[in-house]
Structure 1
């Protein structure tokens, strides 16, 4: 086991009695957005995980960090929390939801690992709902700690459908017991993103609104109040006016709701080692921290408390620990190696061949066979349900996706489509489709000429999954994106089969369920009439297509229906990424 030098150099030891007052330091550890990462393994590349910063991932590494902290300060002085998004995001998560679904006897490997590590409580994330409520409830029953969500309400009763909070008592304080209240809050966007699973069953009011209701009750029973919130710190939302509550508002929560001592932040996939926010009612500081996603970091919060009549918080601080500094916990490896190996075997199963290598590396800047293949398969499926001209939309989800020449495996194809989205078909007019593509073109900044530019010079602060590219099935859908023009006036020459698209012309449009539900707040799409929704996973459609065809030939998907231009001249991007 690798010893960590930070244990005593950056750590506050439990404090002795001062002037007859009892003192105690509680250490609270936190993870978030684990997304099915159990081991330090990249299932798409079939090798140990690595990224440009040489981070490591997975609960097995987190377990080693937790063990080190507990050995340093005493297990009885620590709690371990999670802020959600646990059971979706890797082929391992998909396998145990869809291929070999978890049962009462087969425990989800993420549940087994978290139980073995000894979590105190966890908040629900929005991705917990992706596989439906039956899978979520089975996962919940397998946990040996509570899964919290004060703002996931039963539509019929109006009451929380999951425990809103838990009071954990720390007994060994060398003084009176310390009561720690842990409130869980999830994201209101679930009502949009997973409408198919929750509509008519659950409703999701805002984090601040529900915290105003529940924190006073938790505070009355606790000496210390910590919120695990699956909501980013900085106020923002991709939901537009679809719900009346912001997607990301953890800092607003800390400012607005009196009685909170700290917030473990999730959902935004950013790293916040330590941030203090002043509550506007009490004037007291509230500690915020968010560890980097996938188990790359572990948040470490320390609370110095003093007993006088009751425990009072004197000071707090936080930092993050990196999982790349330690080895995987051999106990977790032994416990779940078999589950992992089953998934490795599954994703490496050969399903066909590819006549030439096919990469998605440049799909953000030019029309590539990789994304045309995705759009083609989506469009083919939708065409079975409509007589309208079919257009398909998809985004470059994975810049690293590449299908090699020769034998093709499930993991090769799955790498093109790393999300568990399903196919939806809607009806849009030509004018609505143009508006949609204008919104997509926000992905780029404005430039003065054709370049050459680096990728960073033309890319705005928009996630890749919010840049949708269009494709026509029976005839080409052609258009230019002129990034010398302002946002809203960039789609030039939109035509179908060589004929300019009239505003009233109608298309059947293939999209994923995230986009159709309003994800990204694109115009028209969420309110468009639905033509097709059979809950078909797009990734599985791609896999099934390769299995049926036997051979994937990138030349069959060659074309240049859309271009990135500046005042009509093609823009040159001098990068392979």
Structure 2
């Protein structure tokens, strides 16, 4: 690292030490100390040195700076009482640097940084950073002193120009060895960086940090990247770049991979490269010492994978998302004149951010940005005649999802006026993204509406036949676990069924509800049946849907580009695509209508049954 970087880190660590309690902070966060010290040693090659390096890692921050829930307008809390945000992570980083040594501590991130909260959305769309503002995530990460970050798939949600602006605002490299220029095949971002860690009385330790992102970007953000960038597999690109890192003199190689540890793909066989490939990476590419895992939103304090070629044990760790945890990796290295630096041991753990206060420097730096966003999300845009909640949306037809489908279909219907498709019936597809979402009776704010749609998806419409629609619904119905009778059942006993591609259970966002605009689309989901045989009594306007009947179907860009591997939508003819953001369409609809009246659009059109008998769900 440069002298200025070293000075910055010493200052950062010293402030924490002067404040006192670095050891106590780490102990409260769950830190387990290991014997580690720089010392003179002797091995078979003569006198040498030993040193322990610390590499800290975050991932999937998703626009969280403060411990704040913008949709609820209060401090963040969940059932495990986690806290979130870079301001908390900063406190942990200060304490580690003060305790372990700022000069021998690196900090990296595994991606998904600039999307996910109203704070992130505001500085992408309302007051975009392209107008000269500094992105709050860039400001926070610069202040904390990150050494490198990998690209996440959500970095591309707002388009490449905004991503390039964000990249230019960072004081550290944004890495993506498998994000390639579509025309030249060359890396579109730096593939790696080598950081020098100085050790008294010995040559510096050269730490190679390789960044890899998710191949699914080619599907999920097709509209933003097609013809501009390609995203080959992590393993394939690592086979090229890890040897180059070693030849460049890297003594320690750490990969920041925005790809889960447990091999699976939400897009099935739509791409030849797996979505979650970090374990494959460790097993199949020699020369990697550790992988900071991202994307999967699970916690892995420490896991070892044996490389099949070299026999080396590779360390994997993934901190919990949004800044709930910070991974702490330690590497013991020994130096001798003939062999140079060699890694003797590695280990990792995660530190819990809910035990520490927010860092005052980050709070001071970004309080004004936060206040600006809270004012925006709390502004009133209309009223609602009756409260709507998404709490039961994953197993029950509720007005909250009917509202999303109504707005999506209404936007598409208006856009089709005067076209050849204007006479076709319009359907819409929506998923239960946020179980906590709710629209209150009375005044409705931006945050109330935005809470229904927490992803930055855009709206498209495609043509589907009745047969294709039924196939689509059968795919969606895989979300449910098979039951033997109507119950009563607990919600978790019937939802989030595990599959080969989703071993931890199909996520809520991959369960779709389909509704009609011109007339109701009605159907039963028989969860006593095996997947693929569950959709019954499919009708439109009371008439059974025929196989050759044609519909216009409103769908989000994630689904239409292959997210979830749903049938037909990726190859169906697109009849509408104006890059309208669905969340903003909801907000605009309420602003223009002035009032949400659930009675005007909400009916119970689908239900869960077991061998024809309605299923009873008791939460």
- TM-score w.r.t. the length of structure 1 is 0.98
Deviates more, 1:152-161 or 1:5-14: 5-14
Matching residue within 396, 410, 415 for 2:432: 396
- The answer to whether residue 130 in structure 2 is matched with residue 130 in structure 1 is no
The CA deviation at 1:405 is 1.2
| Matches of 1:5 and 1:120, distance apart in 2 | 21
Residues 323-372 of structure 1 show CA distances to partners (whole Å, capped at 9, x for unaligned) of 00100000000000000100000000001111121111111111111110
| Matches of 1:104 and 1:131, distance apart in 2 | 14
- The answer to whether residue 474 in structure 2 is matched with residue 438 in structure 1 is yes
| Matches of 1:9 and 1:568, distance apart in 2 | 55
- The answer to whether residue 308 in structure 2 is matched with residue 280 in structure 1 is yes
| Matches of 1:486 and 1:304, distance apart in 2 | 52
Contact 1:24 1:173 in 2 (8 A): no
Check 1:83–1:195 CA distance in 2 against 1; reply closer, same or farther (3 A cut): same
The CA deviation at 1:241 is 2.2
The CA deviation at 1:58 is 0.1
| Matches of 1:149 and 1:5, distance apart in 2 | 32
| Matches of 2:32 and 2:281, distance apart in 1 | 33
Residues 142-174 of structure 1 show CA distances to partners (whole Å, capped at 9, x for unaligned) of 000000000001011110000001111112344
- TM-score w.r.t. the length of structure 2 is 0.92
Matching residue within 325, 350, 364 for 1:334: 364
- CA-based RMSD: 1.1
2:346 alignment counterpart: 316
Check 1:328–1:524 CA distance in 2 against 1; reply closer, same or farther (3 A cut): same
Matching residue within 206, 223, 234 for 2:251: 223
Contact 2:403 2:602 in 1 (8 A): no
The CA deviation at 1:105 is 3.6
Indicate the SS of the match to 2:538.
strand
2:608 alignment counterpart: 564
Check 1:301–1:5 CA distance in 2 against 1; reply closer, same or farther (3 A cut): closer
Residues 42-62 of structure 1 show CA distances to partners (whole Å, capped at 9, x for unaligned) of 000000000000000000000
Indicate the SS of the match to 2:467.
helix
- The answer to whether residue 56 in structure 2 is matched with residue 29 in structure 1 is yes
The CA deviation at 1:450 is 0.8
Aligned residues: 575
Check 1:422–1:119 CA distance in 2 against 1; reply closer, same or farther (3 A cut): same
Matching residue within 462, 475, 489 for 1:426: 462
Deviates more, 1:480-489 or 1:3-12: 3-12
Contact 1:13 1:73 in 2 (8 A): no
Indicate the SS of the match to 1:478.
strand
1:480 alignment counterpart: 524
| Matches of 1:104 and 1:364, distance apart in 2 | 40
Deviates more, 1:35-44 or 1:376-385: 376-385
Matching residue within 84, 96, 109 for 2:111: 84
Contact 1:297 1:323 in 2 (8 A): yes
- The answer to whether residue 53 in structure 2 is matched with residue 17 in structure 1 is no
Map 1:372-521; keep pairs closer than 5 Å. 372-384=402-414, 385=416, 386-387=421-422, 388-459=424-495, 460=497, 461-521=505-565
The CA deviation at 1:5 is 4.9
| Matches of 2:223 and 2:201, distance apart in 1 | 51
Consecutive unaligned residues of structure 2, counting only runs of 5 or more, are 1-18, 498-504
Contact 2:106 2:146 in 1 (8 A): yes
Residues 260-303 of structure 1 show CA distances to partners (whole Å, capped at 9, x for unaligned) of 00000000000000000111111111000000000000000000
Residues 518-538 of structure 1 show CA distances to partners (whole Å, capped at 9, x for unaligned) of 000001111111010000011
Residues 450-491 of structure 1 show CA distances to partners (whole Å, capped at 9, x for unaligned) of 111001111112100011001011111110000011000000
Map 1:59-74; keep pairs closer than 5 Å. 59-74=86-101
| Matches of 1:199 and 1:373, distance apart in 2 | 32
Contact 1:290 1:299 in 2 (8 A): yes
- The answer to whether residue 326 in structure 2 is matched with residue 298 in structure 1 is yes
| Matches of 2:134 and 2:36, distance apart in 1 | 37
Residues 490-510 of structure 1 show CA distances to partners (whole Å, capped at 9, x for unaligned) of 000101111111111110000
Contact 2:26 2:95 in 1 (8 A): no
Contact 2:97 2:105 in 1 (8 A): yes
Map 1:525-540; keep pairs closer than 5 Å. 525-540=569-584
1:75 alignment counterpart: 102
| Matches of 2:232 and 2:26, distance apart in 1 | 44
